[in-house]
Structure 1
Amino acid sequence: MSPLQKSLLLIVVMALIWGAGLPVSKIGVQTLGAWPFRLACAFISVLFLYAVFWKPVNNLSTTLDPILYLKLFIIAIPNVFLVPVLNNIALERLSISDSTSLIYTMPCFTSFFVMILNRKLDSFSIASLTFCLIGVWLIIGSFQFSSSHLIILSSAVSWSIGSIIAQRLETNIDFRVKVFWQVTFGCVCAFLVSPLFLDWPTEIVKFRNDLSLPAAVSVLFMGIVGGAVVFYIWFYLIKLQSAEYASYATLFSPIISITLAITYFDENPSASTMIGFGLILISALTVNILRPAWTSRIHRGTA
């Protein structure tokens, strides 16, 4: 299998996982609460990755220098810690449809930040950002702007920044060890911060009592598939291609999420939400499909 074929296959798999991620997380968040659900998922992710990659982790971890650990920690903060936590908190109050539409502004922010870092104006990125902002305004314009809307948008920004950091921060070690320590650092951060938002003894007892079968399945799915597996694929795609290329996977995920929201959660997105979602999808297609196609055409014309 060629690198391109492998990348496309991974994109499809990751899109399916992320597409189911927000609806499945909604079940766990509604039953257990945002923080208990996030802590359980993070812990399961670390256990699963260690069970699979224990040998390279044990062999290399003792030889890693402090600077490398620091780099892995920096990469983990936006991608593995902030994004899942912010998503879970927002899902307590926002519908799946609104959350999905807003979180997938990530490719637009990624393209915008890349344009700024490269110090080069890009008409496609500017057009994409314009469509994106109009779409966001339509989604939140019919409601009173809430902290939950700000939280989910902050998650999208954090996701885009984390993707760029993951690509630009060199960490030349076994990829499996890299993913394990990033997920571990994300888990540690979640546990360290959690006492600020929940009462540990009370919440632990409540978690045990509230752990129904659907909640347990959602924890296992988001801990193993939606956590460990999808982060491995995400970072591998960034390594194999680029941060912008990895964002291709997000183009298919929101369609799956909104379909599940309508089918299984009886949500009925408003017209403004659907139009806003369409504009955000167009903005993502602009930078991830139209721009590469145009660039390729220009290069063929000048060859």
Structure 2
Amino acid sequence: MAPGRKTPAANCARCQGSAHSPATCDCITDGRWCHGFHAATDDPDRIRGWWRAQPRFDVGVACGAAGLLVLDVDAHETPLPERERLLPGITIGAHVRLDGLRHGFHSLALLAALRQEADPVHDTSTLRVRTPSGGLHVWYQTRPGHTWACSTGSSPRRALAWQVDIRAHGGYIVAPNTVTSSGRYEVLPGSPAPAPLPGWLETELIRTGHQSVAVPRQSTGHPTPFRARQAVIAAGAGRDSATRILAAALTTVADCRATPEGASFTEKLNRAAFTTGGLVAAGHLDQHAAETVLLEAAEHARPGQQHRCASVIRAGLAAGMRRPLVLKDDRP
């Protein structure tokens, strides 16, 4: 990055004067730093060459190439947007008072509270970096084969929450401990490394249209049951977001088969049932079909435990059906 700034270093004169695609630019193949994160590399010789040429360079990380997704939480004191823009896809009734909601820390906390999950801002299990402007970067490692799209928290097209940007494929993030003219990107107490992206955040990112590419994961030898996979396809009925959410929920449960103990199976089954209940309440899936596919995935993961699994599924579905999942595909 440019010395003392959080923006990429300037292109060479030739690239500055020509509008061309980074994919076809000879500068990148020649080892130049043109075109920002498109030139990102982990080649130590190339990096040393860049620093010899410009010792004051700062560091940026290409999120997609590094398998990272970073929540960029802003703390700008700006007027609240319309209610439907606070948590896109989630209805916040007029009876809900928003007097204390002022920035991204509050909107992210609200989303976590609605999902009965811990606020990522306080997640000491992962790398967190305080920005000079008072914001926060929460770093997570994504699962292999999952590619997530960037977004800004004020976008009408794709957003997780107001003033919460997503830095992922096609974007970059300022490295921890970088010092710019505005101050230091300070690492907060807790883990010094990114933790795996939490399952509930993954579900929310799918719901809000951030999953740009879904590359099939390597087979564990225990695929999701055939009828369950067929139900996933049928449940979509033209609603791509609902299909992806249901598929992710079933896969999380079925994949527990590879870990007979210590996989938090009951918690994952309950969470999957809760999510599926939200799809049922929103009209994306019949309740009987939902219970059937969840039972099939559970039986695949934990054979012979149908009675116990059925109780977990019914409780999770009932709770989820009180919170309809409104998706982008549902909007006029």
- Is TM more than 0.5 here? no
The higher-RCO structure (CA 8 Å, 6+ apart) is: 1
What TM-score, normalized to structure 1? Answer: 0.31
Q: Which has the higher strand share?
A: 2
What TM-score, normalized to structure 2? Answer: 0.28
Bigger Rg, structure 1 or 2: 2
